[in-house]
Amino acid sequence: MNFRAHIGLGANLEAPARRLRWALAALSGLGEIEASSALFRSAPMGPREQPDFCNAVCILRTALSPLELMRALLDLERTAGRVREQRWGPRTLDLDLLHVDGVALQTAELQLPHPGIGQRNFVLVPWAQIAADLVVPGVGCIGELAALIGATGLWPWRDAD
């Protein structure tokens, strides 16, 4: 069975844009990348004493189950040097499984759709670039939510940044 997974990518340490490009290449080893957004710069959501984030969203078609995919995402984070020391703290790579078409889960290991996505413009704006018409049950239409929340505090990522 193939799953269509929507994945949020973020990093703010050690060449964040390069990290996201590496992650997209690594994700293509887990299936087929159907689409990926532009890269965006955003202020950190957590502690302010950290660099800005580079964010994007991609759509991956994969044969991995949602739980297998989540575990693979965590493995990629570890490979990229991710250390979980502080909630919403700085990170070399953050891969969030936002939504899997047709799947809803509430387990200790994985919640789908990802909690909080309807309030995060650094997720919604890039996601709307590639899936504006997607309706996520319990969340809403991605394009409509992105328009409502707006892009305040988001800027295009420039490679020189």
Nearest to 59 by CA among 36, 93, 27: 36
d(C-alpha 56, C-alpha 116), whole Å = 16
Strand, coil or helix: what is 34? strand
| Mean pLDDT of the chain, nearest integer | 92
Question: pTM to 2 decimals?
Answer: 0.93
Polymer length in residues for the chain = 161
Confidence class for position 25, pLDDT limits 50, 70, 90: very high
Residue 104 has φ and ψ, to the nearest 5°, of: -125, 130
Q: Which amino acid is at 122?
A: F
For residue 51, pLDDT over 60 is answered with yes
DSSP 5: E
d(C-alpha 3, C-alpha 91), whole Å = 27
Active site positions, annotated: 82, 91, 94, 96
User: What pLDDT is stored for residue 86 in this prediction?
Assistant: 57
Biggest alpha carbon–alpha carbon distance for the chain: 44
Q: What six digits make up the tokens of 29?
A: 């080893």
- Share of residues in the chain with pLDDT > 90 (%): 78
Residue scoring higher pLDDT (49 or 74): 74
pLDDT of 121-132, one tens digit each?
999 999 999 999
For residue 161, pLDDT over 60 is answered with no
pLDDT of 52-76, one tens digit each?
999 999 999 999 999 999 999 999 9
- Share of residues in the chain with pLDDT > 70 (%): 94
Residue with tokens 């957004």: 37
| Mean pLDDT on 39-54 | 88
pLDDT of 74-112, one tens digit each?
999 999 876 766 565 688 899 999 999 999 999 989 999
* Contact yes or no for 31/61 (Cβ under 8 A): yes
Residue with tokens 């919604």: 124
Domains of the chain: residue spans and CATH: 3-103+152-156 (3.30.70.560)
d(C-alpha 34, C-alpha 58), whole Å = 8
Strand, coil or helix: what is 95? strand
Residue 43 has φ and ψ, to the nearest 5°, of: -70, 150
